[in-house]
Amino acid sequence: MDRLIVKAEDDGGEAAAFSNAVAISAPATTGRLPVLATTFVVDGGHGGLVTARLAATAHGIYDARLDGQRVTDSVLNPGWDSYERRLQFQMFDVLSLLRGTEDDAPKLRRHRLEVTLAGGWWHGNLGFSGMNANYGDELALVAELTLIYSDGYVEVHGSGPDWTATLSKITSASLYNGQSEDRRLTPGDPMAVHVAQFDREALVAESGVPISRHEVFRPIKIWRSPSGKTLVDFGQDLVGWIKLIIPASTPAGTTITLRHAEVLERGELGTRPLRAARATDKITVGGGEQTVFEPVFTYHGFRYAQVDGWPGEIGASNLEAVAVYANMPQTGSFECSQQLVNQLIHNSLWSQKGNFLAVPTDCPQRDERLGWTGDIAAYAPTACFQFDVSGFLNNWLMDLQAETVNGASGYVPYVVPDVFRRATADHSEVLQTGPVAVWGDAAVWVPQALWNAYGDKSQLARQYPGMVAHLRSVERVLSQTGLWDTGFQFGDWLDPDAPPDDPAAAKADAGVVATACLYRSAVFTAKAAEIIGNAHEAEHWRSLAARVRAAFLEHYVDVDGTVRSDCATVYALAIHFGLLDGAVKGRPADEVRSAAGDRLSRIVKNHGYRVSTGFAGTSYVTWALSETGHIDDAYRLLLEEDCPSWLYPPRMGATTIWERWDSLLPNGEINPGEMTSFNHYALGSIADWIYQVVLGIRAASPGYQQVLIRPTPGPGIHWAKGSYDSPHGRITVAWDAGDDQPFHLDVTIPDDISAIIILPDGGQHRVVGGQHLY
């Protein structure tokens, strides 16, 4: 059904959507999911229906049906927010489900609305290492059906004590552990519901992006493992579930079990990276008819599945993998002469799909799946090129702002929504005592990426308080030197030279990383304040940026361009963030910057062009190389295939971005570290450089009102082509720089959009719209 867009000011505000409804819950049961239901009558005596809309939300996730038909194609509603402060409700147009189809339809038509509830993120025992973080113990539904007839008569059917509850055939449902059903069960006698506690002040009209089913994958191989298990390969690491079609001949009471994993190890399902997540679905057949099993109250990250209990031999027509992610149109494309680079881009796209469900998560498969702020801080520019994420990320930033501005600590949490403070046990490893660089900088860097991609001033204004809250929290902890060298830092997390059991043991000095990040955030926050008309605060943030850069140059940079800790990450940040655009002890800035670029080049070469950066530096090392005249080094770094490198995972058969460069070791064994995910988008942030530098599509002004086309060929890639669907239309670029051949460029710009085209030889052309050949 069509989803209705509701704004806060419509119908008197958010809470007005439920003026005749209260939250209801079913009696406590032994685990079976409750179905809350009501019947109502459509009275043809008032003429035909002209409007029928259902508003709904829940503590938990819900599936609503009218007369057995789903009211929406979206799933896992209402999604996940910082529930204490923001709980989105959805509005659905259900008119087509209620209209009579016959001219002689009875005047009074009886209908039934049923809503199944599951724990979802509300009561999902979220977290890892036994955190069991929950928002509440009781599931609840708020729903309201509004009917408007042609004579003007209005009926409102809201959830309340007159509803009833029955038990579904779903015996358990957990995001981490999976879903189980027993089709032999009956709903039992209707039970009375009770009014549940519900904070109406937290209700907000939906601003996020619905989650839906997308691609469907059939098995590419079904076989027996060395231990005799039936294994299935769907060919793509995806996020979603497996839909089973079980023949009618299957005996009643047959239980079929599906176990999911991303990789194989020694010929068997590799489940160790899942940690405590069981990722297992079960269906017990009722018998007598074909059974279709689709577990819509859970999701898994997987490429492979193990099928137990299937009677006889399972065939490819009996199962399909359904990819589930937010409804975000793909906007970017890229292809080049290097197939492993193409696979890298493919992997980045699929890691974004798999981790963009309700919030931007770190991983989608193990007992975690949290909105880690550091991951999206690094990846946001890539995310904005690949898909239209304006609504998705803006909604998440509203949660970040709620957790920061209205939270008890006043600084950006490690994860948003912040479930760590709801852990049932002491977890000192995630006890946050202050602001943290990169992770906290998501409050600024994600809005910066959105501003560059979409140029939405009103959206930037809504995000600005979160930016300010982050900087204020950092200002309070700066040392007397003006550096951010105090408190705990993740630093250059997952430095490839760090031991597997100590991912924070990076080469980069944590104070250098944090101070560089603060400078970048202060610079953009000053710009944002200016854009939204806050000149006074803009001056404050410009002053902070100037003080931070001066302190950075004084304490961290030598006159010869050496940056403290002398590793690739510190040079990448200092160069790309503009910290070296100032004299050092009397030496001109351009000389210092050039020397730092030369030193970065030598470090990259000395590492054999294998990656030596972690979370903080990986997004920016190729940028810093290309910006200081070392484009050949940047290409060689990109194209290296030995581990650690961007192309090692594709060479090993990866179809998504890995958490560790060596999540799968060269011998095919899974990395022994506890944190070993095969779907973690952060290290795929190199794609931003590929799109902007290799392909050459850049925004010359926010929202691509003006375009810069500047392809930069380098050794190892002979041609490239791609496109970006900007807010003003599609931009396409194709270039060819084959051996001993002149450079050719084909560019198409949307009508009435101006562009600057800079050729590799330095030639510049100003054009407006249309196709341009060089």
- The domain that contains 143 carries what CATH number? 2.60.120.260
Structural domain includes residue 396:
no
Number of separate domains in the chain: 4
pLDDT (tens digit per residue) in 331-342: 999 999 999 999
Based on the fold, state whether residues 202 and 258 are members of the same structural domain.
no
Give the per-residue pLDDT at 234: 98
Based on the fold, state whether residues 198 and 268 are members of the same structural domain.
no
pLDDT (tens digit per residue) in 575-587: 999 999 888 988 9
Based on the fold, state whether residues 624 and 768 are members of the same structural domain.
no
Based on the fold, state whether residues 194 and 220 are members of the same structural domain.
no
Q: Which two tokens stand for residue 307?
A: 């099928």
Structural domain includes residue 408:
no
Structural domain includes residue 694:
no
Question: Residue 463 in contact with residue 447, Cβ under 8 Å?
Answer: yes
Strands 49-59 and 140-149: antiparallel
Structural domain includes residue 426:
no
- Spatial CA neighbour of 61 closest among 38, 86, 88, 41: 88
How many Å apart are CA 54 and CA 41, to the nearest integer?
15
Give the per-residue pLDDT at 100: 61
Give the per-residue pLDDT at 13: 45
- Spatial CA neighbour of 614 closest among 555, 669, 675, 551: 675
Query: How far apart, in Å, do the first and last CA atoms of the chain sit?
Result: 48
Instruction: Return the axis-axis angle of helices 535-556 and 568-576, rounded to nearest 10°.
Output: 140
Decide which of 311, 326, 341 is a domain's last residue. 326
Q: Please identify every stretch of the chain with a pLDDT value under 50, giving residue numbers as ranges.
A: 1, 6-13, 15, 101-102
Question: Residue 165 in contact with residue 221, Cβ under 8 Å?
Answer: no
pLDDT (tens digit per residue) in 254-282: 999 999 999 999 999 999 999 999 999 99
> Which residues are paired to 281 by β-bridges?
258
Structural domain includes residue 450:
no
CATH of the domain at 486: 1.50.10.10
Give the per-residue pLDDT at 105: 57
pTM of the predicted protein model = 0.96
> Which residues are paired to 307 by β-bridges?
230, 258
Say whether 530 is catalytic.
no
Structural domain includes residue 468:
no
How many residues belong to the chain? 774
Decide which of 607, 640, 673 is a domain's last residue. 640
Structural domain includes residue 659:
no
Give the per-residue pLDDT at 10: 40
Based on the fold, state whether residues 541 and 587 are members of the same structural domain.
yes
Q: Which two tokens stand for residue 293?
A: 């099993």
Give the per-residue pLDDT at 106: 63
Say whether 403 is catalytic.
no
Based on the fold, state whether residues 142 and 221 are members of the same structural domain.
no
Based on the fold, state whether residues 78 and 16 are members of the same structural domain.
yes
Based on the fold, state whether residues 169 and 240 are members of the same structural domain.
no
DSSP per residue, 363-379 = -SSSS----BHHHHHHH
- Spatial CA neighbour of 78 closest among 183, 232, 236, 202: 202
Range(s) of the domain holding residue 261? 213-326
User: How many Cα neighbours within 13 Å face the side chain of 358?
Assistant: 26
CATH of the domain at 743: 2.60.420.10
Give the per-residue pLDDT at 102: 45
Structural domain includes residue 518:
yes
How many Å apart are CA 591 and CA 432, to the nearest integer?
40
Q: Which residue has the tokens 């980069």?
A: 508
Based on the fold, state whether residues 117 and 255 are members of the same structural domain.
no
How many Å apart are CA 531 and CA 705, to the nearest integer?
16
Question: What 3-state class would DSSP assign to 692?
Answer: helix
Decide which of 596, 620, 640 is a domain's last residue. 640
Q: Which of 368, 403, 627, 640 is catalytic?
A: 368
